[in-house]
Amino acid sequence: MVQSVTTAYLVEILRDARSRTLELLEGLDDQQLIGPKLDIVNPMLWEIGHVAWFYEYFILRRLYDHKPLLANGDDLYDSIKIAHDRRWDLPLLSSEDTLDYMQRVQDALIERLQGALADQTDSFIYRFATFHEDMHDEAFLWTRQTLAYPRPALSIAAEGLPPDATAGDLPSDVEIPGGTFWLGSSPDALFLFDNEKWAHPVTLAPFRIARAPVTNADYLAFVADGGYQRRAHWCDEGWRWRRDVEAENPVYWKRDDRGDWYFRRFATWWPLPADQPVIHVNWYEANAYCHWAERRLPTEVEWEAAAVGEPTGSGGELSARKRLFPWGDQPTTPERANLDARALGCVDVAALPAGDSAFGCRQMLGNVWEWTSDTFAPYPGFAPDAYREYSQPLFGNTRVLRGGAWTSRSRMVSATYRNYFGPERRDVFAGFRTCAPSDAS
């Protein structure tokens, strides 16, 4: 079981997550809260109701036999039973009534927390449900991006960009020694999701990995060299995807009549920032770039070893010790990682050196999610948690991403956190870093 936390902390994160959700709705009218029917987004009005229902169902009702606060809640908000394309056609509550339902659920959640220290059950399920809201807050950001809604006015963004946000590029590789690395989370972790169960030994050969993610300038060279037109760079499925959607460049890029490149962030077009990581590229695009550059995507275990592994004193092989975070065991701070939507976008790949891993890899947490080469699969000893559908249905059908993006909450993302999306998804805040070819490549 995960470690117990104070009830005050649980109340704090519940309220903070809800505050972020409400900020992400601010300025959107009723029509925007429904939006067009697309495979890659939900109607936001449905989604906020689902967030409240999730808390109610998994905590109040399932664990503590609380009477339903909404009589037809299961028929409206159960994401497992309600097909995606039906969510626009449901008799949804009005925005005012949905917000009232959300508040009533949160009030009931807080009211039942007693004493200074939560028990292990509440310590896990309250955090899990809050992190579920955090995940949907990230989805609200990509919905606003997908639909070209205005940039959200988040209070945390008033703190501004880090001083070195435009620090430039960070080329070159670092050498990661071989050895035995324990991939995944151990039972004494502060918190873990079911797909991190359990840490298990993996033998690694030495490898070289880029210090930073691929930049816009790097990726533009691939585009300019006809990378999207050359069949040889693409796997069979990737080429079919590229041909079907007629992709010629990343989805939110465009070139003007003078040949200058721009990218769209929310509703605004900006000159393409050369030294920020390329973002909103899918696994097929990342893999094609690697083929063109004569590189490869890291495996999941390589990525985690580069992020939180340590060398032995002699430096000859990986240590048995694994850090909590790339920079060590100290908490996440704005100087170490671009998380929590503070910057409302990416920073240059050379920014935030205080977040470097033991081997000198930068931004292993934050800025952009990073594709790995691996298909999402269970670790040895996997068992689902209370929300059985969190991981299990996606095994074998999705690709693994690591590290979080500028959109991700620092309280939730760690170097062992596994994200997963279909290889065709380029709406999410994903980029990648590369490895030098190995002897087995």
Question: What is the domain partition of the chain in residue ranges?
Answer: 7-153, 159-441
The whole-angstrom separation of Cα 277 and Cα 431 is 7
pLDDT at 279 over 80: yes
Phi, psi of 130 (to 5 degrees): -65, -45
Q: What is the pLDDT at residue 25?
A: 97
What pLDDT sits at residue 1? 59
Measured between alpha carbons, how far is residue 88 from residues 41, 133, 417, 419 in Å?
A: 11, 20, 31, 26
Parallel/antiparallel/unpaired status of strands 399-402 and 200-204: unpaired
pLDDT at 115 (0 to 100)? 95
State how far the Cα of 421 lies from the Cα of 428, in Å rounded to an integer.
9
Share of the chain above pLDDT 70, in %: 99
The pLDDT confidence band at residue 3, using thresholds 50, 70 and 90, is: confident
Q: Which residues pair with 431 in a beta bridge?
A: 370
Average pLDDT along the chain? 96
**Is the pTM above the cut of 0.85?**
yes
Q: What is the pLDDT of residue 360?
A: 98
**Whole-number pLDDT of residue 438:** 84
Percentage of the chain exceeding pLDDT 90 = 95
Q: What is the pLDDT of residues 336-366, one digit of tens each?
A: 999 999 999 999 999 999 999 999 999 999 9
Place 316 in a pLDDT band, splitting at 50, 70 and 90: confident
Closest CA to 425 of 300, 280, 287: 280
What number of other Cβ atoms are within 10 A of residue 105's Cβ?
A: 25
Decide yes or no: CATH 3.30.70.580 for domain 7-153.
no
Distances, alpha carbon 292 to alpha carbons 78, 217, 272, 374, 399, in Å: 43, 15, 21, 19, 20
Across 155-164, 267-276, 288-297, least confident range:
155-164
- On the CB side of 360, CA atoms within 13 Å amount to 12
Alpha carbon distance 254, 153 (integer Å): 25
Q: Give the pLDDT band (50/70/90) at residue 441.
A: very low
Q: What is the mean pLDDT of residues 267-282?
A: 98
Instruction: Tell the CATH superfamily of the 159-441 domain.
Output: paralog of FGE (formylglycine-generating enzyme) (3.90.1580.10)
Is residue 433's pLDDT more than 60? Answer: yes
Q: Read off the pLDDT of residues 182-235 as tens digits, 9 standing for 90 and up.
A: 999 999 898 999 999 999 999 999 999 999 999 999 999 999 999 999 999 999
Using the predicted structure, report yes or no on whether residue 440 has a pLDDT greater than 60.
no
> What's residue 439's pLDDT?
63
Query: Does 325 have pLDDT greater than 60?
Result: yes
Equal CATH topology for 7-153 and 159-441? no
Mean pLDDT of 63-71: 96
Residue 432 pLDDT exceeds 70: yes
* Burial class of residue 271 (count of CB atoms within 10 Å of its CB; 0-12, 13-18, 19+): exposed
Report the range of poorest mean pLDDT among 10-19, 181-190, 294-303.
181-190
Residue 417 has pLDDT above 60, yes or no: yes
- pLDDT (tens digit per residue) in 89-124: 999 999 999 999 999 999 999 999 999 999 999 999
- pLDDT of residue 2 exceeding 80: no
Average pLDDT over residues 419-438: 97
The answer to whether residue 315 scores a pLDDT higher than 80 is no
- The confidence score (pLDDT) of residue 386 equals 86
